[in-house]
């Protein structure tokens, strides 16, 4: 009851918007379930309303799945606002010729996703200049790259821990769905279109077609098939903490995050084709990263060797963390909170880096 009451009060005091309040700008993305545009407010609805500069907003016109995405974004804003892009408003827009559409509005966080940044030859140095005010005095090399990757991983796991502690599993964690917020100089998660809220049982669409096979954990479904797909709220609220313990559905996101860590460490695995090939190799090794390493290391390219070297720094704590995230059995994977407590994030250098932010 409290949750719904608070949600109601919160909505009363927040500005709401309608279709005519927005002018569309450049198209930012188009998927099977919606189109995303940069957008601006047409006129000042009130002097208290923020986001009045041109291009301050992002607008997604979504299909029927937009209803779930609005729910997830509302919940995130109340429970773990810093984990995801700032959500402004969501509503059902009926006047379109195409029939009902859901419109979702966020603050425009910045122009680059982690995917865009990872495509650059400069990665991870191009990120360093964005997350810290002054570049480190370390010479360019593995140590410095490792520190930047640590910072990105820490921000990512922090955001993910926020979602998971709220009871939300994202299910589509990938570099394309991680935006760099220029305002807070941190990475935030976007695209809750495939997310599941386990505390309240909003979980309609665990269809495999929604999952990106490049980043999906081998279990594919986050809950056992015995789980009702859209249980009514009171039943689900009573059941879900138990289900959470039994199935550890959050570990689905951890696997995907592990693959992102891998791609950051190994420049040769950043392309789609290389990732797909890696996935095939890992499957042949029964999802055992150590076995994969044994099979590729003897004839490794310099790219691969460099990745192993980076993860082997400081007694191999990076490799240890990676292997605790990318495991076949969900129950054997570390949690986001557990990963943040990993010695990989304990280092003095990291503290310096975060103080500089």
161 binds Mg ion (CB under 5 A): no
- What is the Cα–Cα distance from 133 to 353, expressed in whole angstroms? 9
- What is the Cα–Cα distance from 55 to 61, expressed in whole angstroms? 16
Q: Which of 90, 162, 193, 307 binds ligand ADP (CB under 6 A)?
A: 193
Reference 271, options 164, 162, 115; nearest CA is 115
191 binds Mg ion (CB under 5 A): yes
Concerning whether 346 is annotated as a catalytic residue, the answer is no
Task: Give the interface segment with Mg ion, choosing from 50-58, 171-179, 287-295, 326-334 (CB under 5 A).
Answer: 171-179
CB 22 within 8 A of CB 108: no
Residue facing ligand ADP at closest CB distance: 29
131 binds ligand ADP (CB under 6 A): no
Of residues 21, 86, 161, 172, which has the active-site annotation?
A: 172
Residue facing Mg ion at closest CB distance: 191
CB 286 within 8 A of CB 246: no
179 binds ligand ADP (CB under 6 A): yes
CB 57 within 8 A of CB 106: yes
DSSP 169-237: E-S--SGGGEEEETTTTEEEE--GGG-EETTTTB-----GGGS-TTT--TT-SSS-TTS-SS--HHHHH
- Residue 342 binds which of Mg ion, ligand ADP, none (CB < 5-8 A, kind-dependent): none
Q: Which of 151, 177, 267, 324 binds Mg ion (CB under 5 A)?
A: 177
159 binds ligand ADP (CB under 6 A): no
Whichever of 60 and 199 has its CB closer to ligand ADP, that residue is 60
Whichever of 145 and 191 has its CB closer to Mg ion, that residue is 191
29 binds ligand ADP (CB under 6 A): yes
For the chain, the residue count is 357
58 binds ligand ADP (CB under 6 A): yes
DSSP 96-130: STT--EEEEEEE---S-BHHHHHHSTTTTHHHHHH
Q: Which of 59, 70, 189, 190 binds ligand ADP (CB under 6 A)?
A: 190
The stretches of the chain forming alpha helices (DSSP H) are: 2-12, 66-79, 114-119, 125-131, 142-166, 233-247, 251-265, 272-284, 289-296, 302-325, 336-340, 348-355
Whichever of 59 and 148 has its CB closer to ligand ADP, that residue is 59
Whichever of 59 and 157 has its CB closer to ligand ADP, that residue is 59
CB of 236 to Mg ion, least distance (A): 26
218 binds ligand ADP (CB under 6 A): no
CB 59 within 8 A of CB 88: no
Q: Which residues bind ligand ADP (CB under 6 A)?
A: 28-29, 31, 33-34, 36, 58, 60, 85, 106, 108-110, 113, 176-177, 179, 190-191, 193
| Residues involved in catalysis | 172
């Amino acid at each position: 009851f409290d949750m719904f009451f608070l949600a109601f009060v919160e909505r009363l005091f927040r500005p709401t918007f309608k279709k005519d309040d927005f002018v569309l700008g450049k198209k930012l993305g188009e998927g099977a379930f919606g189109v995303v545009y940069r957008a601006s407010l047409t006129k000042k609805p009130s002097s208290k309303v923020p986001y009045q500069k041109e291009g301050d907003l992002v607008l997604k016109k979504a299909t029927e799945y937009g209803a779930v995405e609005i729910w997830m974004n509302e919940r995130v804003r109340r429970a773990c606002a810093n984990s995801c892009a700032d959500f402004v408003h969501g509503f059902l827009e009926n006047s379109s010729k195409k029939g009902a559409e859901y419109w979702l509005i966020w603050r425009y966080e910045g122009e680059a996703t982690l995917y865009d940044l990872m495509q650059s030859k400069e990665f991870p140095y191009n990120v360093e200049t964005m997350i810290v005010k002054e570049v480190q005095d370390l010479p360019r090399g593995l140590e410095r790259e490792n520190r930047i990757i640590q910072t990105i991983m820490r921000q990512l796991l922090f955001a993910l821990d926020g979602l998971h502690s709220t009871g939300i599993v994202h299910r589509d964690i990938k570099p394309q769905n991680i935006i760099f917020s220029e305002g807070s100089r941190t990475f935030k998660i976007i695209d809750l279109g495939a997310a599941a809220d386990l505390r309240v049982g909003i979980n309609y669409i665990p269809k495999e077609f929604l999952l990106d096979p490049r980043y999906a954990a081998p279990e594919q479904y986050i809950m056992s098939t015995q789980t009702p797909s859209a249980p009514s709220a009171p039943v689900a609220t009573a059941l879900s903490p138990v289900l959470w313990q039994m199935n550890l559905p959050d570990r689905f996101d951890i696997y995907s995050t592990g693959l992102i860590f891998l791609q950051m460490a190994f420049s040769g695995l950043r392309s789609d084709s290389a990732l797909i090939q890696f996935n095939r190799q890992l499957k042949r090794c029964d999802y055992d990263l150590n076995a994969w390493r044994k099979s590729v290391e003897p004839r490794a390219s310099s790219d691969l060797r460099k990745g192993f070297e980076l993860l082997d720094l400081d007694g191999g704590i990076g490799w240890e963390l990676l292997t605790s995230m990318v495991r076949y059995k969900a129950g054997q994977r570390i949690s986001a909170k557990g990963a943040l407590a990993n010695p990989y994030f304990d280092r003095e250098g990291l503290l310096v880096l975060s103080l500089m932010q």
